[in-house]
Amino acid sequence: MPTLLDTYSSPAGRHDELLDDGGTVRSQWRPLIARLEGLGLDGICARAQLVSDSIFSDGISYNVHAEDHEAPHAWELDPLPLVIAPEEWKYLASAVAQRASMLNAMLGDLYGPQHLLAEGLLPSALVFGQPSFKWPCVGIRPPGDVFLNTYAVDVARGPNGKWWAIADHTQSPAGAGYSLQNRIILSKTFPDAFRQLQVQPLADFFRTLLDGFSRLAPTDGEPPLIVLLTPGPGHESYFEHAFLARYLGYPLVEGRDLTVRDNTVYLKTLRGLRRIHGIFRRLQSDLCDPLELRADSAVGVPGLLAAARAGRVLISNALGSGVLESGAIFGFLPGIAERLLSEPLAMPSVASWWCGEAAALDHVIEHLDELVIKPAFSDMGQPAVFGHNLSGAERDEMIAKLRAQPHAYVAQEWIPMSQAPVWGGNGLQARTVGLRLFAVATGNGYTVMPGALGRVAASPHQEILSMPRGGISKDVWVRASSPVRRVSLLKRRLGVIDLVCGGTDVPSRVGDNLFWLGRYTERSEATARLLRATLSRLSTGDNDDESSLPDLLAACHHMDILAQAPESDATDDAIEKDVIAAVCDPTQIGSLANMSQQLVYSAGQVRERMSSDNWHALNRMSRLFDQPFQSVGQALAAVDRTMLDCISLAGFALDDMTRDEGWRFLILGRRIERLYRLAALIEVVLGYDDDARERSLEWLLETTNAIVTYRARYRRSPEVLPVLHLLIFDDTNPHAVVFQINQLDIELDRISRDVGHPRVDALSVMRTALNQFDLTRFEADDTREACHALAAVLAKIAGDTSALSENLHERYFTHTAPDVRKH
Partner 1 sequence: MSAIRYHLLHDTIYRYTHPVSESRQMIRLSPRILEGQRCLSHRLQIDPLPSRSEDWADSFGNLVRTIDLESSHEHLLIRAESWVELTPPEHTEFDASPTWEHVRDTLAYRAGRALSPEILAASPFCFESPHIRLKREFAAYALKVFTPGRPLLAGVQDLMARIFNEFTFDPEATDVATPVTAVFAKRRGVCQDLSHVMISCLRSIGLAARYVSGYLLTLPPPGKPRLVGADATHAWVSVFCPGAGWFDFDPTNNTTPRLEHITVGWGRDFADVSPVRGVILGAGSHTLDISVTVVPESEFSLIYENGTSIDLMT
Which residue ranges make up the site for partner 1 (CB under 8 A)?
A: 114, 117-121, 123-125, 128-129, 131, 135-136, 138-139, 259-263, 290-292, 295, 302-303, 306, 356-357, 377, 404-405, 407-408, 809-810, 814, 816, 818
Stated length of the chain:
823
Minimum CB–partner distance for residue 707 and partner 1 (Å): 37
Q: Which is nearer to partner 1, 431 or 815 (CB)?
A: 815
Strands 61-62 and 278-281: unpaired
Q: Is there a contact between 734 and 249 (Cβ–Cβ < 8 Å)?
A: no
Strands 278-281 and 226-229: parallel
φ/ψ of 541, rounded to 5, equals: 70, 15
Minimum CB–partner distance for residue 773 and partner 1 (Å): 32
Helix (H, G, I), strand (E, B) or coil at 750: helix
Within 10 angstroms of residue 550's Cβ, the number of other Cβ atoms is 16
Q: Which residues make Cβ contacts (< 8 Å) with residue 503, sequence separation at least 6?
A: 658, 660, 661, 662
Minimum CB–partner distance for residue 116 and partner 1 (Å): 10
By the 10 Å C-beta count (0-12 exposed, 13-18 middle, 19+ buried), 97 is classed as buried
* Sheet hosting strand 264-269, strand order edge to edge: 258-261, 264-269, 272-275
Minimum CB–partner distance for residue 119 and partner 1 (Å): 6
Minimum CB–partner distance for residue 738 and partner 1 (Å): 30
Within 10 angstroms of residue 108's Cβ, the number of other Cβ atoms is 18
Q: Which is nearer to partner 1, 130 or 182 (CB)?
A: 130
Q: Which is nearer to partner 1, 82 or 329 (CB)?
A: 329
What is the Cα–Cα distance from 249 to 673, expressed in whole angstroms?
37
What is the Cα–Cα distance from 577 to 565, expressed in whole angstroms?
13
From residue 319, alpha-carbon distances to 137, 185, 282, 305 in Å are 7, 34, 11, 8
Cα three-residue angle 116-121-123, rounded to 5 degrees: 90
Q: Is there a contact between 504 and 589 (Cβ–Cβ < 8 Å)?
A: no
Minimum CB–partner distance for residue 118 and partner 1 (Å): 5
- Give the residues across from 16 on adjacent strands: 419
Q: Which is nearer to partner 1, 303 or 450 (CB)?
A: 303
Within 10 angstroms of residue 395's Cβ, the number of other Cβ atoms is 14
Helix (H, G, I), strand (E, B) or coil at 331: helix
Q: Which is nearer to partner 1, 569 or 819 (CB)?
A: 819
Q: Is there a contact between 254 and 299 (Cβ–Cβ < 8 Å)?
A: yes
Minimum CB–partner distance for residue 505 and partner 1 (Å): 21
Q: Which is nearer to partner 1, 114 or 742 (CB)?
A: 114
Q: Which is nearer to partner 1, 190 or 377 (CB)?
A: 377
Q: Which is nearer to partner 1, 299 or 480 (CB)?
A: 299
CA dihedral 444, 445, 450, 451 (to 10 degrees): 140
Q: Which is nearer to partner 1, 125 or 242 (CB)?
A: 125
Minimum CB–partner distance for residue 735 and partner 1 (Å): 29
Q: Which residues make Cβ contacts (< 8 Å) with residue 806, sequence separation at least 6?
A: none
Q: Which is nearer to partner 1, 284 or 405 (CB)?
A: 405
Minimum CB–partner distance for residue 665 and partner 1 (Å): 18
Minimum CB–partner distance for residue 120 and partner 1 (Å): 5
Q: Which is nearer to partner 1, 138 or 487 (CB)?
A: 138
Q: Is there a contact between 456 and 78 (Cβ–Cβ < 8 Å)?
A: yes
Minimum CB–partner distance for residue 749 and partner 1 (Å): 25
